[in-house]
Chains A and B, each alone.
Chain A
Amino acid sequence: MSRPLPGFRLTFGIVATWLSLIVLIPLAGLFLRASSLPLPRIWEILSSGRTLSAFRVSFGCAAAAAGVNALAGPVVAWTLVRYDFPGRRFLDALIDIPFALPTAVAGITLTTLYATNGWVGRLLDPLGIQVSYTLKGIVVALVFVGLPFVIRTVQPVLEEFPAEAEEAAALLGASRLQTIAKVILPSLAPAILTGTILSFARCVGEYGSVVFIAGNMPGKTEILPLLIITHLEEYQYGEATAIASAMLLLSFGLLVLGNRMQARLVRGRTR
C-alpha cells in the first residue's frame, strides 16, 4: 500500500463503539452475571433433570435436523446445478425462503400442517405417526430452518468443479457412479461439513419455529431457549443466566471445532 487511506480513526471509532454497545458489553454482562453465581449453584442448575433434558432435546434435534439436511442438501444442490428443467429457477428461489420467512410464521404453519387434522398430519395419523407436539415435530421445524445452509454452501463448489476431472475419471474407465462417489463427493466434503455445522449452530438456538410445534413438555419436548424464557418469566435470573452461558460456550466451542475440522479437511485434499 503506497499511502494509507483516510478514515481509519473514524471507522475504527464507529465500529468499536457500536460493536461494544450492541454485542460485547451485553454478552460480557451475561458472563459476568453467571460468574457471580457460586460454583455449586451453577452445577446444581446445569445438572438438574429438566436442564439436562432440554440440552438433550435442543442439541439432539438440531443434530438430527442437520443430519437430514447434510444428506438431502447435496442431492438438491446437484439437481439445481447439473440439470436444466422447467421450474428450476423457481425451486432455486424457494431455497431462500427459510432464511427470509419469519420463524414464527414457519412455526404456526408447520404446526397446522402436521397436526392430526392438518394436510400432512391427517395422512400420518392412521399410520400411528404423530408429529406435532413431539420430538419429530421439533426436527421437522429445524429441517425447515436449517435447509438453505448445506445447499447454498455446496452449490458454488459444484458449479466450479472442473469438468476435466470428471472427464479424466470417465476416460480412465470409471463408471458415472464411481466418478461421483470417488471424485466429486470428496471435493464437496468440506462444503457439506461447513453447511452442516452452520445449520446445526442455527438450529441449536432456534426458538420461533419450534415453540409452536414442540408441545413444550418440561423434561420431554422442552428446548433450551424456551427453558431460559420460562426461568426469566419466573424471575429466576440465576437459572436463566447459567443455562444461557453454558449454551453459548457450547455453541462457540462447536463452531471453533467445526472450523478446525474443515481446515484439516481442506488441507488433506490439497496435500
Chain B
Amino acid sequence: MSGGTKRIQNDPWWLRAGAMAFTLLFLGFAVLLPLVSVFVQAFAKGLGGWWAAVSDPDTVSAIRMTLVAALGAVPLNTAFGIAAAWLVTKHRFPGRHLLVSLIDLPFSVSPVIAGLVFVLLFGAQGTFGPWLQAHDIHIIFAWPAMILATAFVTFPFVARELIPVMEEMGTQPEEAAVMLGAGGWTVFRKVTLPGIRWGLLYGVILCNARAMGEFGAVSVVSGHIRGETNTLPLHAEILYNEYDFTGAFAVASLLTLLAGATVVIKLWLERRIAR
C-alpha cells in the first residue's frame, strides 16, 4: 500500500482517470447498486412494513433455524480447523499436502451437490434411509441435515485461515515450552493461542457468514417446511416466489446487514493482524 501512492505521477492523466472511472462504474454497478436496491425495496412500505415482515412468526422461526444451523456447524468446524492447522503446521508426515488439498475440497463442490450427498445417505431412498425410518430418526428435512450440509460448505474456512498463520509462527515457541516441561494443552493455550487468536477470529467470522447465508445446500435438505426448517435465505426465497417483495427484501436486508458487519469486522481484524 505504502509504495503505491508515490508512483501516481508516473501514469499519464488519461490512464489514471480511465482506470478510476472504470473502477467506480464497475463496482458501482456490480456491487453498490444491488446493495442499495435491497434496502430501498425492504423499506418500500415504510418502517412499519419492514417491521411487520421482520417480526412475522415465520421470519422469527427462520432466524432461529439459521442460528441452529450456524451454532451447530461453526463450533465443530472451528475445533476441526484448530486441530487441522496444528496437525499440518506443527508436524511433518507423509500425505501432509494431500490432506491440505482434501480440506479445501468442499470449496470446489457445488452447494447443491453438498446437499445431495446427504440426501443419498440419509434420505428415504438413501443408504441408511430404511434403517432410520424403522427407528423413527429424522435427519433429512430436519435440523440434523441442515447442520450437516452447513458443516460441509463451511468446512475449510477456519483451517484455511489458521494454516498460514501457524506456518509463519514456526514451531520454536512451542518446542521451547515443551523443553521447559509444559504439557501439550498448556503449550497450546499459553503459547499458540495468543499468537493465532485474531486469525482464528477471522476464520470464525467468515465461516459464520457463510453458514448463516448458505442457500443451495440447505435448500436441498430442508424440505422447505415453513416455520420449521426454513432458514433466513430460504424464507426470503419463499416470500419472493409468493410475490411478497417487501417481505422478501426485509428478510434480505437482515442478511445484508450481517454481510456488512462481517466485512467491517474482517477489515478491522486485517488491520490488527497487519500490525
Which residues of A line the B interface, CB within 8 A?
1-8, 10-12, 14-15, 18-19, 22-27, 29-30, 33, 72, 75-76, 78-85, 91, 93-106, 108-110, 112-113, 119-120, 143-144, 147, 159, 163, 166, 170, 176-177, 201-202, 204-208, 212, 224-226, 228-229, 232, 235, 237, 240-241, 244, 247-248, 251-252, 255
| B263→A19 contact, CB < 8 A | no
Contact of B119 among A2, A103, A232 (CB under 8 A): A232
| A82→B4 contact, CB < 8 A | yes
Asked whether any CB of chain A lies closer than 8 Å to the CB of B199, the reply is no
Identify whether the interface residues of A are mostly helix, strand, loop, or mixed. helix
> B248 → chain A, closest Cβ, in Å?
6
A103 to B214 Cα, complex, angstroms:
7
| B110→A224 contact, CB < 8 A | yes
A91 to B25 Cα, complex, angstroms:
11
Q: What would 16 A/B residue contacts be, using CB atoms closer than 8 Å?
A: A1-B175, A3-B178, A5-B91, A5-B171, A8-B91, A11-B84, A30-B116, A95-B31, A100-B258, A101-B255, A106-B34, A113-B33, A144-B31, A166-B10, A207-B215, A226-B112
Identify whether the interface residues of B are mostly helix, strand, loop, or mixed. helix
Q: Which residue of A lies closest to B82 (CB)?
A: A11
Within residues 199 to 253 of chain B, which ones have a CB less than 8 A from any CB in chain A? 206, 209, 212-216, 219-220, 232-234, 236-237, 240, 245, 248-249, 252
Within residues 110 to 157 of chain B, which ones have a CB less than 8 A from any CB in chain A? 110-113, 116-121, 125, 127, 148, 151-152, 155
For B24, what are the chain A residues with a Cβ–Cβ distance below 8 Å? 91
> B183 → chain A, closest Cβ, in Å?
7
| A29→B152 contact, CB < 8 A | no
Within residues 250 to 275 of chain B, which ones have a CB less than 8 A from any CB in chain A? 252, 255-256, 258-260, 262-264, 266-267
| B187→A1 contact, CB < 8 A | no
- Beyond A29-B127, A248-B113: 19 further Cβ-contacts under 8 Å? A26-B117, A27-B117, A29-B121, A30-B113, A76-B22, A83-B4, A93-B267, A101-B256, A105-B236, A108-B248, A108-B249, A112-B41, A120-B33, A144-B30, A159-B1, A176-B12, A205-B113, A235-B125, A251-B110
Asked whether any CB of chain A lies closer than 8 Å to the CB of B32, the reply is yes
For A96, what are the chain B residues with a Cβ–Cβ distance below 8 Å? 263, 266-267
For A81, what are the chain B residues with a Cβ–Cβ distance below 8 Å? 1, 4
Given known contacts A91-B24, A97-B259, A22 and B3 CB-to-CB distance under 8 angstroms: no
> A109 → chain B, closest Cβ, in Å?
5
User: Contact residue range for chain B?
Assistant: 35 or more
Which residues of B line the A interface, CB within 8 A?
1, 3-5, 7-8, 10-12, 15-16, 19-20, 22-24, 26-27, 29-35, 37-38, 41, 76, 79-80, 83-84, 86-87, 90-93, 99, 102-103, 105-113, 116-121, 125, 127, 148, 151-152, 155, 171, 174-175, 178-179, 183-184, 187-188, 206, 209, 212-216, 219-220, 232-234, 236-237, 240, 245, 248-249, 252, 255-256, 258-260, 262-264, 266-267
> A7 → chain B, closest Cβ, in Å?
5
| A225→B121 contact, CB < 8 A | no
Given known contacts A105-B233, A105-B255, A159-B4, A237 and B125 CB-to-CB distance under 8 angstroms: yes
| A91→B27 contact, CB < 8 A | yes
A252 to B106 Cα, complex, angstroms:
11
Q: Which residue of A lies closest to B91 (CB)?
A: A8
Q: Which residue of A lies closest to B262 (CB)?
A: A100
| A229→B112 contact, CB < 8 A | yes
For B151, what are the chain A residues with a Cβ–Cβ distance below 8 Å? 22
Q: Which residue of B lies closest to A1 (CB)?
A: B171
For A170, what are the chain B residues with a Cβ–Cβ distance below 8 Å? 10
For B119, what are the chain A residues with a Cβ–Cβ distance below 8 Å? 232
| B31→A94 contact, CB < 8 A | yes
A251 to B114 Cα, complex, angstroms:
14
> A211 → chain B, closest Cβ, in Å?
8
Contact of B108 among A24, A80, A201 (CB under 8 A): A201
Q: Sorted from nearest, which 5 A-B pairs have the closest CB atoms?
A: A205-B110, A102-B213, A6-B184, A208-B215, A26-B117
Contact of B216 among A7, A83, A159, A207 (CB under 8 A): A207
Q: Which residue of A lies closest to B253 (CB)?
A: A105
> B149 → chain A, closest Cβ, in Å?
10
For A105, what are the chain B residues with a Cβ–Cβ distance below 8 Å? 38, 213, 233, 236, 252, 255-256, 259
For B90, what are the chain A residues with a Cβ–Cβ distance below 8 Å? 5, 7
| B41→A109 contact, CB < 8 A | yes
| B26→A72 contact, CB < 8 A | yes
